Amino acid sequence: MASHYQGYLQEVTKGNHLLGWAWNPKKPDEVLQISVLVDGVERAVIAADMPRKDLKSAGVKGDHGYRLDLGQWLSDGRAHRVETRYLHNNAPLGRSPLTILPPSTPAPTKPKPDLAVILGMHRSGTSLGTRILSSHGLSIGDNLIAGQTDNPDGFFENAAIVACQQKMETALSREHYSPQGTHPFPEDWLLHPEVCKQKEQLKQIITEELAANTAPLWAFKDPRSLRFLPLWQQIFQELDLQPAYILCLRDPHAVIQSLWRRNAHPHSQIELLWLIHFLEGLEQLDIRDTHIIHYENWFTSPTKQFRAAIKALGLELPPGKVLKTILHKIISKRKNHFQLNKRDRALHPHTQALYHMLSTPLETAEDDLKLRLLLAEIRRNIGLFQPWQISDTPS
């Protein structure tokens, strides 16, 4: 999705009515046209111009809801695929596509994933989580980046994938360690020549890794993947792969403290980097199909967290004694060094709200809508958080 636009396929009701919303926060008076496809065939083009109180209460200016009766295409007792796309650039709206089953069809079992993607902000415990999960049933391959001073046990990152994403960061002038890394991605960044080039390379890497994998499930992790998720979703769709997403979450105060110790960047810059990572990633994810692991829980309830993550990945649990040995070996020599104290600066209300929301169960359509509206508010205000902003235009 282009960074200037926000849209969402909310649901198809039991009465076969399509509901959603879309708008351009930079031009709130603009009415976006939405292409509606059923089973790959465009059935209608509708305007996102209907009033919705829930959107207005979240600060979305103007009327930007859409609704369409799909009964004539969905009432034949068969399953159908419903998509919504921006008419001007053919990019999918959030949560599109949806598979709609006939009313009499039993609830489907969750499909077995073809691979796992471990997501998260830098210094959020992605390495620890990947190391623990890869100790049983999950393979991350052999082409890994070696450990360094800030991660002596290793990063558990595929070197080839990291190299591709670093090249894209550089081409887009969005290196995560620079002030420009806090900027939203440029509009239509998916069409950038370097991004298109690296996309083909990433497809080849994924294909080769899956072909060579002999474990129950192969996975990769790189914090950059959270922002590049729209590209990854294109790749998975083109390769006909079903991913399982694991999202690593850590107290933003701890992330800020950790990155400050490593890079000495201003706290406000690190917080904005946290916010933009989660904003651009969560806009693409259906949070109800994403399993969240909490860094702090590895030190308070590791067995419970491990069991839940393994179950979410569709893997078999190890025997109790084996599990205890795995967790003790990895976690016992580590400590959760962070402790919040009165001297820590207060977080921005948007950071607080998003972290709090992600720290509570998000299981219903109402929960997902609340998250979407919060993301819409953050997207609308993100440019106001950048007093150090550097122009994309060379001087």
Tens digits of residue pLDDT in 248-286: 999 999 999 888 888 888 888 899 999 999 999 998 888
Query: Residue 279: what pLDDT?
Result: 92
pLDDT of amino acid 6 = 83
Please, are residues 237 and 196 in contact by the beta-carbon 8 Å criterion? no
Same structural domain, 244 and 142: yes
Residue 57: give its domain's CATH number. Answer: 2.60.40
39-62 confidence digits (pLDDT tens): 999 999 999 999 998 888 777 788
Instruction: Categorize the per-residue pLDDT at 3 as very low, low, confident or very high, splitting at 50, 70 and 90.
Output: low
Please identify, among 342, 361, 378, the residue that sits at the C-terminal boundary of a domain: 342
In terms of domains, do 185 and 325 share one?
Answer: yes
* 172 and 306 both lie in a single domain: yes
354 lies in some domain = no
Quote the percentage of the chain above a pLDDT of 90: 54
Check whether residue 87 and residue 124 sit in a common domain: no
Residue 107 lies in a domain: no
Query: CA 216, 220, 226, 230: dihedral to nearest 10 degrees?
Result: -70
Distances (CA, A) of 326 to 107, 124, 154, 329, 357: 35, 21, 17, 5, 31
Co-location of 22 and 138 in the same domain: no
**End-to-end CA distance of the chain, in Å?**
29
Tens digits of residue pLDDT in 293-335: 999 999 999 999 999 999 999 999 888 888 888 888 888 766 6
Q: What is the pLDDT of residues 108-122, one digit of tens each?
A: 567 789 999 999 999
Q: Do the Cβ atoms of 225 and 117 come closer than 8 Å? A: yes
- Total structural domains within the chain: 2
Token code pair at residue 321? 């004694």
Domain contains 148: yes
Of the candidates 166, 286, 291, 269, the one whose C-alpha atom is nearest the C-alpha of residue 227 is 166
Q: Which helix (H) or strand (E) holds 113?
A: none
pLDDT at site 134: 92
pLDDT at 99 over 90: no
For residue 97, is the peptide bond before it cis, meaning its omega torsion is within 30 degrees of 0? yes
Q: What is the pLDDT of residues 121-160, one digit of tens each?
A: 999 999 999 999 998 889 999 999 887 776 777 789 999 9
Interacting residues of 184 by C-beta distance below 8 A, sequence separation 6+: 3, 276, 279, 280, 379, 382, 383
Write down which residue in 342, 360, 381 finishes a domain. Answer: 342
* 170 has a pLDDT exceeding 70: yes
**Span 5-18, pLDDT tens digits:** 888 898 899 889 99
86 and 121 both lie in a single domain? no
The reply to whether 372 falls in a domain is: no
Q: How far is CA 21 from CA 61, 228, 259, 308, in A?
A: 12, 23, 36, 33
Residue 390: pLDDT above 50? no
In this structure, is residue 378 part of a structural domain?
no
User: Residue 29 belongs to what domain range?
Assistant: 6-100
Q: What is the pLDDT of the chain when averaged over all its residues?
A: 87
pLDDT-derived band at 395 (thresholds 50, 70, 90) equals very low
Judge whether 97 and 237 are in contact, CB under 8 Å: no
Highest mean pLDDT among 99-103, 137-141, 198-202: 198-202
What integer pLDDT is reported at residue 193 of this predicted model? 97
Shared domain for 27 and 124, answered yes or no, is no
Residues 123 and 188 grouped into a single domain: yes
| Mean pLDDT in residue range 89-107 | 79
> Does 247 share its domain with 133?
yes
| Nearest Cα residue to 217 out of 343, 309, 331 | 309
